[in-house]
Amino acid sequence: MPRTALRICPLCEATCGLTLTIDGTAVTGARGDRDDVFSRGFICPKGAAFGALDSDPDRLRTPLVRRGGQLREADWDEAFEAVATALPALVQEYGTQSVGVVLGNPNVHTMAGALYPPLLLKALGTRNLFTASTLDQMPKHVSSGLLFGDPFAIPVPDLDRTDFLLLIGANPVESNGSLCTAPDFPGRLKALRARGGTLVVVDPRRTRTARLADRHLAPRPGSDALLLAALAHTLLAERLAAPGVLGEHLLGFGELADALASFPPEAVAPACDLTAAEIRILARDLAAAPTAAVYGRIGSCTVTYGTLTSWLVDVLNILTGNLDRPGGALFPLPAAGPRPRSGSRKGFATGRWRSRVSGHPEAKSELPIAALAEEIETPGEGRIRAVVAIAANPVLSAPDGQRLDAALAGLDFMVSVDPYLNETSRHAHVVLPPPPPSQSAHHDFAFNGFAIRNQARYTRAAVPLEAGLLDECEIHARLVLAVAGLHGAAVPDAAAAVDAPVVLATLAKETADPQSPLYGQDPVRLAGLLTGESGPERRLDLMLRLGPYGDLFDTVGAALPPAAAGGEPAVERPDGEGGAGEGAAPAGLSLERLLAHPHGIDLGPLRPRLPAVLKTRSGRIELLPDPIAAELPRLRAALAERPAALVLVGRRHLRSNNSWLHNVPALSGGSNRCTLQVNPRDAERLCLTDGGRALITADGGSLEVPVEVTDTVRTGVVSLPHGWGHDRDGARLTVAAAAPGANVNQLLDGTLLDAPSGTAVLNGFPVNVAPLP
């Protein structure tokens, strides 16, 4: 008899609740969980293909270990022994910096990826950390770090209540949203318009999101910093700026007008390829809206002035008084996050150390992934000789994969934690495959911090772990032990062994803090009160119980509202809001409570959190921080530059997910193809024909690609999606290899970066396109 089980979808940031149909151990169907307190039944084609992905025959089912140059199937003990032998020896001989750690995107979609990489990095002691963030949102972390003192204090648009939404370089109708976790983003945009609100989209392509909008501006790619500076300039010059109650928290408001003086709409309009009138009208409309939210994503980050653009997004939210107010852009308060505390004012800075070869500043303890190849290739003290790659496919996702391909092939040692033998993991000496997603438990540690509603959900594994597989938490934990030279066979429950010290250290710190309601309690006794069947469950229990809605071990009576801990307004208990039953009135969160609410617990809409969020040294919002002020002259100089005739931007397809879903037949084909989209006018000028082939060339290399002529891209812009290029030997991706596509990042040489954040410029770089016979 088929049964059903719940599983939070790990395939994008929307975190929909799925109801899986399971026959034996096979997932035979997936539909949206109508009772999920957050996603309420929404599902997209990727979620619907959960079963096909889960049972992909190319998925690895045993570890692989390189012997005599060949990757061969091995058992787990052999695999971890290989790591425990190789890595500590390398570190012994060449030092801690000789190991690089590469963390890819799916780490934010697994519990293991949230709980163990910090322990791995600590065990290794290396500063050579590279993640997908420097291909993505690092500019936003840097701008938030500078403005608010906390790189994770990223305000999210209050989608369900706003009157005016300005989307910059985001296509949530296909991506389902990013740094804004909102199941059914498309439905929420339609609801905004249905209630009389306004949607404005800024994108060089007429995307499916732009087609829903009241207004679509298609500026020249890479010019958004200028556009947003002109919007801010207009608000200030026309005395439309009204920060309101934010005023008391602002530092540097007086200096802003001077700093932006060179960017009136008339000055930036030619560079943006918009009219000054369009820009002024947008500024006035933004100011006039009762509430409004400005939100920028990939097209605002992975560009030359990504940090400035990200900063300006929040400057606009601040100048219009929309930061931290309902209907504007608010800071979430996730259930498993830290309880707000007053008085932590460490501030934020980048460049505490620099990369060895090119001297790139670290940002949030990371170095630019675009610089990974040179760190492996360039001889000298501190050269990276070994790589631990977890859920990362940088050969396709980072600039100049060919160079990285060669660099990885020359490593002394490499471990990949990955379900596939693909473009990157084929270089590993040891491949450690996690189980299919149906066999893993899930809680969204990362995305609840960017969710448009505070809520908590946890799903246990829907299918028991298959014989011969290891839970991904167990894989990570054994890796942590292995890098310390501990051969895992001696430790039957590695996750528990690794987690217990973390739990004790956290509780020791908590109970030693005079500000904590648990001050003076016995950490060992509290640790004994934790529930959960595994190490990761006990850690989740700990984080929930110590979190902003936690039961604090019931040692201080009923749950304290966050007000008691950090001076924040008490959280609205959503009595009646989500109806009775699921999601109603959670008093005192713990794992047990969460398990008793399988469809999740709703914790209410986002609420104002200032000033408790601020961790700047001044305790204020630092509106014009020095590193930003230092960037503005570069932006001013850009006004005088002649724009390139043709630039490239990326795109995402609804049925794609970066580099790794092309192997699922249900998600391939149709319009999900690696084509170069070209505007008809450019096609004519360049002698390109629809369905013909073209040679595209940029600083880093050239590619042959099929041409698709479409007026959905503006003139002067071509678009090629990323994550393709599955034509390398030694990978095992049967379906993907049949339609491999070309790797757009091969056009880049890795030198083009948003300087303050080290983020690769993946959008708006110059290219030449010529027809091929």
Nearer to Mo ion, 179 or 733 (CB): 179
Shortest CB 661 distance to ligand MGD, Å: 8
Nearer to ligand SF4, 172 or 566 (CB): 172
Q: Which residue is nearest to ligand SF4 (CB)?
A: 47
Nearer to ligand SF4, 182 or 407 (CB): 182
Q: What is the C-alpha to C-alpha distance for residues 688 and 686, in angstroms, rounded to an integer?
A: 6
Which of ligand SF4, ligand MGD, Mo ion, none interacts with 499 (beta carbon under 5 to 8 A by kind)?
none
Nearest CA-CA partner of 537 in 460, 480, 472: 460
Token pair for residue 33? 């969980």
Tally of CB atoms within 10 A around 409 = 12
* Residue entry with tokens 């495959």: 433
3-state secondary structure of 345: coil
Instruction: Please check whether residue 671 is in contact with residue 653, taking contact to mean a CB–CB distance below 8 angstroms.
Output: yes
Applying CB under 6 A, which residues contact ligand MGD? 12-13, 104-106, 110, 132, 135-136, 168-172, 174-176, 178, 202-205, 207, 221-222, 224, 297-299, 303, 390-394, 397, 417-420, 422, 434, 472, 649-654, 656-660, 722-723, 744-745, 762-764
**Binding of ligand SF4 by 16 (CB under 6 A):** yes
Shortest CB 457 distance to ligand SF4, Å: 12
Q: Compute the CA torsion angle 103, 69, 371, 179 (nearest 10 deg).
A: -20
Which of Mo ion, ligand MGD, ligand SF4, none interacts with 422 (beta carbon under 5 to 8 A by kind)?
ligand MGD
**Parallel, antiparallel, or unpaired: how do β-strands 215-217 and 198-202 relate?**
parallel
Provide the H-helix boundaries in 371-471: 372-377, 394-397, 401-409
The piece of 10-18, 409-417, 479-487, 558-566 that touches ligand SF4 (CB under 6 A) is 10-18
Tally of CB atoms within 10 A around 347 = 15
Instruction: Please check whether residue 308 is in contact with residue 632, taking contact to mean a CB–CB distance below 8 angstroms.
Output: yes
Q: Which of 12, 308, 613, 717 binds ligand SF4 (CB under 6 A)?
A: 12
Q: Which of 6, 9, 146, 481 binds ligand SF4 (CB under 6 A)?
A: 9
Which of Mo ion, ligand SF4, ligand MGD, none interacts with 47 (beta carbon under 5 to 8 A by kind)?
ligand SF4
Shortest CB 488 distance to ligand MGD, Å: 17
Nearer to Mo ion, 659 or 675 (CB): 659
Q: Which residue is nearest to ligand MGD (CB)?
A: 299
Shortest CB 251 distance to ligand MGD, Å: 29
Which of Mo ion, ligand MGD, ligand SF4, none interacts with 335 (beta carbon under 5 to 8 A by kind)?
none
Nearer to ligand SF4, 183 or 394 (CB): 183
Nearer to ligand MGD, 149 or 172 (CB): 172
DSSP assignment of 536-587 equals HHHHHHHHHHHSTTB-GGGBTBSPPPHHHHHSPPPPPP-TTTT-SSTTS---
Nearer to ligand SF4, 598 or 716 (CB): 598
Shortest CB 80 distance to ligand MGD, Å: 15
Nearer to ligand SF4, 185 or 253 (CB): 185
Which of Mo ion, ligand MGD, ligand SF4, none interacts with 382 (beta carbon under 5 to 8 A by kind)?
none
Shortest CB 638 distance to ligand MGD, Å: 13
Token pair for residue 439? 């066999």
Shortest CB 102 distance to Mo ion, Å: 15
The interface with ligand SF4 within residues 163-182 (CB under 6 A) comprises 176
Shortest CB 708 distance to ligand SF4, Å: 25
Q: What is the C-alpha to C-alpha distance for residues 666 and 499, in angstroms, rounded to an integer?
A: 39
Shortest CB 185 distance to ligand SF4, Å: 8
**Parallel, antiparallel, or unpaired: how do β-strands 753-754 and 759-760 relate?**
antiparallel
Q: What is the C-alpha to C-alpha distance for residues 32 and 450, in angstroms, rounded to an integer?
A: 21
Which of ligand MGD, Mo ion, ligand SF4, none interacts with 202 (beta carbon under 5 to 8 A by kind)?
ligand MGD
3-state secondary structure of 600: coil
Nearest CA-CA partner of 217 in 273, 289, 136, 177: 273
* CA angle, 133 then 136 then 138, to 5°: 55
**Binding of ligand SF4 by 15 (CB under 6 A):** yes
Q: Which residue is nearest to Mo ion (CB)?
A: 136
Shortest CB 190 distance to ligand SF4, Å: 15
DSSP assignment of 201-255 equals EE-SB--HHHHHSSEEE-PPTT-HHHHHHHHHHHHHHTT----GGGGGGEESHHH
Shortest CB 654 distance to ligand SF4, Å: 9
Q: What is the C-alpha to C-alpha distance for residues 551 and 654, in angstroms, rounded to an integer?
A: 40
Provide the H-helix boundaries in 95-184: 111-115, 117-124, 138-148, 172-175
Which of ligand SF4, ligand MGD, Mo ion, none interacts with 741 (beta carbon under 5 to 8 A by kind)?
none
- For residue 202, which amino acid is it? V
Nearest CA-CA partner of 37 in 577, 732, 532: 577
- For residue 234, which amino acid is it? T
- For residue 103, which amino acid is it? L
Query: How many binding residues for ligand SF4 (CB under 6 A)?
Result: 12
Q: What is the C-alpha to C-alpha distance for residues 590 and 557, in angstroms, rounded to an integer?
A: 14
Instruction: Please check whether residue 194 is in contact with residue 24, taking contact to mean a CB–CB distance below 8 angstroms.
Output: no
Shortest CB 726 distance to ligand SF4, Å: 21
Which of ligand SF4, ligand MGD, Mo ion, none interacts with 16 (beta carbon under 5 to 8 A by kind)?
ligand SF4
Q: Which of 6, 7, 11, 128 binds ligand SF4 (CB under 6 A)?
A: 11
**Binding of ligand SF4 by 462 (CB under 6 A):** no
The piece of 12-20, 56-64, 236-244, 568-576 that touches ligand SF4 (CB under 6 A) is 12-20
Which of ligand SF4, ligand MGD, Mo ion, none interacts with 11 (beta carbon under 5 to 8 A by kind)?
ligand SF4
Shortest CB 45 distance to ligand SF4, Å: 7
- For residue 537, which amino acid is it? E
Applying CB under 5 A, which residues contact Mo ion? 136
Shortest CB 184 distance to ligand SF4, Å: 8
Interaction pattern, residues 34-73, with ligand SF4; x per rule: CB under 6 A? ---------xx-xx--------------------------
DSSP assignment of 709-747 equals E-TTBPTTEEE--SS-----TT---HHHHHS----GGGG
Tally of CB atoms within 10 A around 260 = 25
The piece of 5-13, 149-157, 504-512, 704-712 that touches ligand SF4 (CB under 6 A) is 5-13
Instruction: Please check whether residue 52 is in contact with residue 726, taking contact to mean a CB–CB distance below 8 angstroms.
Output: no
Which residues are near ligand SF4 by CB under 6 A?
9, 11-12, 14-16, 43-44, 46-47, 176, 183
